[in-house]
Structure 1
């Protein structure tokens, strides 16, 4: 799963939004699989440390992805709002 979140950072860096969406689906599937096995797996101290390190890495990747996607999301939101405003103006005053 950590490898997938790292690939997600790369996809977001390249503005590959379709690729990012595919990777998000793969991560969701991995999360479901891990949750299903979580109660049956017993980790020793070293494995718990390794798990903690991977979780920290994935959280860092998640932060980087958010930092990369938030400007794009804001731009998309602005575009959608402008399109809605244009439609309302056209409806109110007629198309030119």
Structure 2
């Protein structure tokens, strides 16, 4: 079971990771972005397994809400940065698939 402080520390660590993800996405460091996302996932799993037993006092709840809001803002920034890259990747994959089908259709 996690303590109140461990829960808040986990949320603080997750917020720091999302801030790092914004930087990684800004610099187009996709492998780093993936690594950071995996670290956040580990924190989420830990919270899911233990957090429901923890009751935060008012200050703790307010801090948790502030951290979640910052993570959501960072997530929006990350999506804004990654969507053009994802669209370009999707277009490239689609184009490659079309080229392959044409080559197969007209190969001798």
Bucket of the pairwise TM-score, normalised by the shorter protein: over 0.9
Give the equivalent residue in structure 2 for 1:85.
98
**Aligned pairs for 1:4-43 within 5 A:** 4-43=17-56
What is the count of residue pairs matched by the alignment? 95
Deviation, structure 1 residue 40: 2.1
- Structure 2: state its 5+ residue gaps: 1-13
TM-score by length of 1: 0.94
Instruction: After superposition, give the CA deviation of every residue in 1:39-88 in whole Å (9 maximum; x if it has no partner).
Output: 22111111110000000000001101111111000000000000011111
Runs of 4+ in 1 over 4 A off after TM superposition: none
What root-mean-square deviation, in Å, do the aligned CA atoms of Structure 1 and Structure 2 show?
1.1
TM-score by length of 2: 0.84
Partner Cα distance (2:49, 2:101) in 1: 49
Give the equivalent residue in structure 2 for 1:71.
84
